Homo-oligomer: A and B are copies of this chain.
Amino acid sequence: MSEVLIIGSVAYDGLKTPYGSKDRVLGGAATYSSLAASLFAPVKMVGVVGDDFKDSDLALLRSHGINTDLVTREKGKTFYWKGYYENDMAVAHTMKIDLGVFEKFDPRITGRSRQVPFVFLAAIHPELQMKVLQQMTKPQFVVLDTRDLWINITKPMLLKVLRKTDLVVVNDQEIRLLTGEVHLMKGARALQKMGPKTVIVKKGEHGAMLFGPGWTFLSPAVPLDYVVDPTGAGDTFAGAFIGYVAKYGQLTPEVLKQAVIAGNLVASYTVQGFGTKTIAALNKAKLKKRAVEYHRFASIPKIRI
């Protein structure tokens, strides 16, 4: 089992969905993805929080075996995001962003942390993503996430980071912005020529597609009766994915496919509660149960023609 290093935002979120609203709940891409990855592998989290960050939240992360030595505490406020969702929960509407201490975030990877082989660069400014990569001595598998904002305002830098990654996670809008391709499959193949040998396209409620060199795989999303709050679904997916790969340490199509399923399963918990509440309460027993249900739902019988 190998370790995973995760860099991204640690935040307090104000959330409003058709199911209710909560303010200042623990969130941020690094938080969701670290909690998810920690189900499978040891995690080193890299981030910054303000002096308003609660000790109990730090304790929560540590109780999941997440190493928070590289989460620095600075004078000022923790990154704050406030947003709402309407009935179409695929779209987050931002009401307020207060970068706080995140604005001057300067990630320093020290000592043995530089040697962690599995690296997840959550969707932060590509300059920061590059800075982290340059400090790693021998990354074996680098997974990149990004968002429309970074593609729009700093594409050249993002393309440089992309060239140094093994796998990129995108949605349909991001693939279009990055490659100019409307057709998902053509877009994924175009991305494979821009650096990462492997591409994951997240399709929300329709699951996730994995494009390897010369092969393709689809894992449908877990069918859910209700979604309480979609915040962090993508981060959870990516965190569970890299955690699963790190656990088995092999970069075979089989393990990558299983990791996509793990991503879908874990993300299905995140969206059934506000913020990180359900993912923080998830354990292997619950996950195994959902995996059994999932296989019943998604297993493809052989057909006889």
User: What is A's interface to B at a CB cutoff of 8 Å?
Assistant: 87, 182-183, 185-186, 203, 206-207, 209, 215-220, 223-226, 244, 248, 254, 257-258, 261-262, 265, 284, 287-288, 291, 294-305
Contacts and interface: CB of A to CB of B under 8 A. Distances in A.
A183 B18 CA distance: 13
Nearest to A304: B258
A206 B209 contact: no
A183 B205 CA distance: 11
As for how many copies of this chain the complex holds, the number is: 2
A241 to B, nearest CB: 11
Given A217-B297, A258-B301, A265-B303, 7 more contacts: A183-B225, A185-B225, A216-B297, A258-B302, A258-B303, A261-B303, A298-B300
9 contacts: A185-B223, A217-B298, A218-B220, A218-B298, A258-B302, A265-B303, A291-B305, A299-B299, A299-B300
Interface centre among A223, A287, A299, A303 (most CB of B within 10 A): A303
Contacts of A262: 303, 305
A295 B217 CA distance: 10
A222 to B, nearest CB: 10
Contacts of A291: 303, 305
Given A209-B223, A220-B220, A300 B304 contact: no
Nearest to A287: B305
Nearest to A294: B300
Contacts of A288: 305
